[in-house]
Every structure is written in structure tokens, then in C-alpha cells.
């Protein structure tokens, strides 16, 4: 068959010690290191099966249709979007690694390849919506998904307005397949990450390990993970007992990510537990402040972090990359305008008392904003 290679004539089916069992070690990922040193994340041979849910019910891949995930082939996102679930669902993979990301080049690829489904992190969509999309042909695309960081409502609304396509958000980790997503059996609430994946027993737990009521924030936790051995969930942090002790408690796996659930069961992501800002007794999620800032046309990218303060303990700091192609320049007047905008959009106590205009934000190799680097710089 054209495009296929024949099996070598001397190939024999493995047996005995050479035959892989379900719970043998299949691969080891390195975590992105956004919260510290990268950890070695060990998966067994059930891992690809968990990504059937990732590919079919979140990314919306179709048998025989072309899917593209914007990810270098060395990342864990490669496993999420370029091989396991997609191939198991019969999709065709468009594999393209960019040495340097260019929004113009990405748009040309999307149109030239006539993709059916497309997945990318928020950083890429933030740059794409700044381009002239009116002349782009997205008629082949049936679904666009997004993951890697929380999706700001402004990015969602702009993409929908410019392309007519909603962004389908999902959440997971190097340690898992998709845990939360906007699955096709319920409508999307813009700004919500969606609902829990049915293949896991997931709950929001407080610091005492008790289930949280609707409206209360808690840590996203996979219950009974040690006993159930859920398909798609990692087995251990290789040679890292301290990390295991911190994340695995009473048989449950704690993701370390904070969210709250509304009365309809939708999950609203707040951020990493160590990213939450504690200011004068208030707990402020950076994502809400970032979303408010992203609504302002002057903001191209931003990161909200905690800065030390002798009186309040911590204060909200915003590191902002300006949309200079729109004519915006750093000034005290613009900083004040952005602070006032956050006060109006969220609550007065959540506004960034410190505004720093920067050329770039520190990011991991997988494109995630490294807020820890900003915090450490401020603390030093």
C-alpha cells in the first residue's frame, strides 16, 4: 500500500520477558518545571488508552481526518496531541515543528493543510487574534481546542468573533490524560474549563481533605487513585519520594491546582495553589486578574503574581507585555488606566498595586508562563 512499509521478514512477535505487560514502565516524561525543578513522571502501558478521551471527546478528532496540535515533538503535549489518542481514533496527524513561532506562518499552515481539528496553547491563540483573520479561510476546521494554561474570556470571545469557532478548553497534566474539559454532551460556558472527565473519580477537596461545596475553592484531586489505577494516570515520580509524599495522600492524587465548581457542575480554574495571592486576608486567583487585563486593548500578554509587602503580606503585581503594534507605550497614565480597569471588572481589592511593563514574559520550553521566576526575582 502506498505510503506504508512492509514488515521486516525476520520480525517475530515478542514473548516471555520481552513481552510488555500493562503496568510495565512505558515512558518517563519530565514535567515542565513551572513550580520548581522538573520531575520524572513515570507512565505505564495503559497511558495511551486514557488519551482516547483526550482526542475523541475533547479535541474532537475524526476517523481519517487531519488533526494538528501545536507542540514540539519533545513535549508531553506531543503524546497528548500527536500520537496516542489521535491514532487510536484513526485520525491523520499533521506534524510540524517550528524552530521559532510565527503567527503568520501558523495561519498559512492551518489553511494550506486544510485541517479538520486544531489544538494549541493560549499563547498561540493570543498572537493569532492580533493578526488580520478576516482574509483567512477556516472553512475546513470543525473544532479548535485549547490547553496548557487557563483561557482568558477575551481570547475566547475574540476568536469566536473572528472565526466563528468556539475554543474548547481542557485541563490535564504531564501526569495524566485530560481531567477536565468542555465535552460535547453539554454546552460551553466561556471562561469555564468544563466538567470532570468520567474516566476519573475527581473531586475538589479543601486543605483538610474534605469535599468542597459549590462556590468554594478547593484543590483538584483524583480520589482512590492508588487503589483504582486509573487508565491514563501516572504511576510515580521516579526516584522522588518527597514529591510522591507531597502529591499522594491517603491514596488520593492531589494535582496542586485550585478551582471552584458552580451549581451546574462547571469547573472554574483559579491557578496553581502556590500561585494564589494572599493579600490582607484575601485570597486572589491570578487568572481572574489576568483575564480582566486581557480585556484591555493595550495588553498583548500578562502574568499576575504575588509580590512581597511588609504591611499586607503580599500584593498583586502585573507584568505586562504591551500591544505596541496598536500604538501603546508604557507610561504612568497607562498603568493607572489598567489598574482602574481591573477595579471595575473584578473587585477593588484585586487590582494590581504594582504594574511593570516588560518586553517578554519568562516561559518554559512548552510555552507556559513561569510565574515562579517572576516571584523569585521580586523576593530577591
Retrieve residue 348's grid coordinates: 477593588
What pLDDT band is residue 34 in, cutting at 50, 70 and 90? low
> DSSP state, 118?
E
Question: Which tens digits make up the pLDDT trace of 239-271?
Answer: 999 999 999 999 999 999 999 999 999 999 988
Long-range contacts of 74-80 (CB under 8 A, 24+ apart): 74/365, 75/365, 75/366, 76/29, 76/32, 76/41, 76/174, 76/366, 77/121, 77/147, 77/148, 77/366, 79/27, 79/29, 79/47, 79/48, 79/51, 80/51, 80/54, 80/147, 80/172, 80/177, 80/178
Would you state the pLDDT for residue 36?
67
Beta strands in the chain (DSSP E): 25-30, 40-44, 66-69, 92-93, 117-120, 143-146, 167-172, 178-181, 195-196, 202-205, 217-222, 236-237, 248-249, 252-261, 267-272, 277-279, 282-284, 299-309, 313-322, 354-357
Contact between residue 108 and residue 352 where contact means Cβ atoms under 8 Å apart: no
Question: Which tens digits make up the pLDDT trace of 63-88?
Answer: 999 999 998 877 888 899 999 999 99
Coil, strand, or helix at residue 169? strand
Query: What is the overall mean pLDDT for the chain?
Result: 92
| Cα angle: 304, vertex 306, 311; to 5 degrees | 140
User: Cell 454532551, residue?
Assistant: 185
What pLDDT band is residue 130 in, cutting at 50, 70 and 90? confident
Contact between residue 302 and residue 293 where contact means Cβ atoms under 8 Å apart: yes
The continuous run of DSSP H or E covering 154 comes out as helix 153-163
Q: Which of 116-125, 152-161, 310-319, 366-375 has the lowest mean pLDDT?
A: 366-375
| Cα angle: 130, vertex 374, 354; to 5 degrees | 80
Whole-angstrom Cα distance, residue 44 to residue 27? Answer: 7
For the cut 70, the answer to whether the pLDDT of residue 95 exceeds it is yes
- Dihedral Cα 338, 339, 345, 350, nearest 10 deg: 140
Question: Which tens digits make up the pLDDT trace of 175-222?
Answer: 999 999 999 999 999 889 999 999 999 999 998 999 999 999 999 999
Would you state the pLDDT for residue 264?
98
User: Cell 500604538, residue?
Assistant: 327
For the cut 80, the answer to whether the pLDDT of residue 2 exceeds it is no
What pLDDT band is residue 35 in, cutting at 50, 70 and 90? low
Coil, strand, or helix at residue 372? helix
Question: Burial code of 329-361, b = ≥16 C-beta within 10 A, e = fewer?
Answer: eeeeebbeebbebbeebbeeebbbeebebeeeb
Structural domains in the chain, CATH included, are 16-270 (3.40.50.12780), 276-379 (3.30.300.30)
Would you state the pLDDT for residue 236?
96
Question: Which tens digits make up the pLDDT trace of 53-62?
Answer: 999 999 999 9
pLDDT (mean) for 336-360 = 96
For the cut 70, the answer to whether the pLDDT of residue 345 exceeds it is yes
Whole-angstrom Cα distance, residue 208 to residue 259? Answer: 16
Retrieve residue 229's grid coordinates: 489505577
Question: Which tens digits make up the pLDDT trace of 317-344?
Answer: 999 999 988 899 999 999 999 999 999 9
In order of 34, 35, 54, the CA distances from 38 in angstroms are 8, 8, 24
Question: Which tens digits make up the pLDDT trace of 268-294?
Answer: 998 888 888 989 888 898 988 999 999
Q: Which of 56, 73, 116, 57 lies closest to 92, judged by CA?
A: 116
Would you state the pLDDT for residue 61?
98
More confidently predicted of 7 and 134: 134
For the cut 80, the answer to whether the pLDDT of residue 46 exceeds it is yes
What's CA 88's distance to the chain center, in Å?
A: 23
Would you state the pLDDT for residue 16?
81
Amino acid at each position: 500500500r502506498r505510503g506504508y512499509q512492509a514488515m521486516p521478514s525476520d520480525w517475530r512477535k515478542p514473548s516471555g520477558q520481552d513481552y510488555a505487560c500493562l503496568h510495565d514502565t512505558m515512558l518517563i516524561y519530565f514535567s515542565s518545571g513551572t513550580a520548581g525543578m522538573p520531575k520524572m513522571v513515570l507512565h505505564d502501558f495503559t497511558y495511551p488508552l486514557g488519551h482516547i478521551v483526550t482526542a475523541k471527546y475533547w479535541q474532537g478528532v475524526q476517523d481519517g481526518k487531519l488533526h494538528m496540535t501545536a507542540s514540539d515533538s519533545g513535549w508531553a503535549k506531543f503524546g497528548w496531541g500527536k500520537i496516542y489518542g489521535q491514532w487510536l481514533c484513526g485520525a491523520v496527524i499533521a506534524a510540524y515543528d517550528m524552530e521559532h513561532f510565527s503567527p503568520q506562518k501558523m495561519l498559512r499552515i492551518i489553511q494550506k493543510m486544510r485541517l479538520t481539528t486544531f489544538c494549541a496553547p493560549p499563547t498561540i491563540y493570543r498572537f493569532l487574534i492580533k493578526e488580520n483573520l478576516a482574509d483567512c479561510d477556516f472553512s475546513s476546521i470543525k473544532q479548535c481546542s485549547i490547553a496548557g494554561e487557563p483561557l482568558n474570556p477575551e481570547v475566547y470571545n475574540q476568536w469566536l468573533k473572528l472565526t466563528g469557532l468556539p475554543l474548547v478548553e481542557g485541563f490535564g497534566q504531564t501526569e495524566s490524560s485530560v481531567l477536565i474539559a468542555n465535552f460535547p454532551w453539554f454546552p460551553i460556558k466561556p471562561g469555564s474549563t468544563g466538567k470532570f472527565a468520567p474516566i476519573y473519580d475527581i473531586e475538589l477537596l479543601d486543605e483538610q481533605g474534605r469535599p468542597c461545596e459549590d462556590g468554594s475553592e478547593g484543590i483538584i484531586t483524583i480520589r482512590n487513585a492508588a487503589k483504582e489505577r486509573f487508565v491514563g494516570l501516572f504511576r510515580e515520580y521516579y526516584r522522588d519520594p518527597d514529591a510522591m509524599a507531597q502529591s499522594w495522600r491517603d491514596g488520593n492524587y492531589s494535582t496542586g491546582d485550585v478551582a471552584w465548581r458552580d451549581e451546574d457542575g462547571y469547573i472554574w480554574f483559579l491557578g496553581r495553589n502556590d500561585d494564589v495571592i494572599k493579600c490582607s486576608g484575601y485570597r486572589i486567583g491570578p487568572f481572574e486578574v489576568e483575564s480582566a487585563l486581557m480585556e484591555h486593548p493595550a495588553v498583548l500578554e500578562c502574568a499576575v503574581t504575588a509580590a512581597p509587602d511588609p504591611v499586607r503580606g503580599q500584593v498583586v503585581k502585573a507584568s505586562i507585555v504591551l500591544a505596541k503594534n496598536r500604538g501603546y507605550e508604557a507610561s504612568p497614565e497607562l498603568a493607572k488606566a489598567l489598574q482602574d480597569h481591573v477595579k471595575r471588572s473584578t473587585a477593588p481589592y484585586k487590582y494590581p498595586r504594582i504594574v511593570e511593563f516588560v518586553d517578554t514574559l519568562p516561559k518554559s520550553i512548552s510555552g507556559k508562563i513561569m510565574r515562579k521566576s517572576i516571584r523569585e526575582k521580586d523576593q530577591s
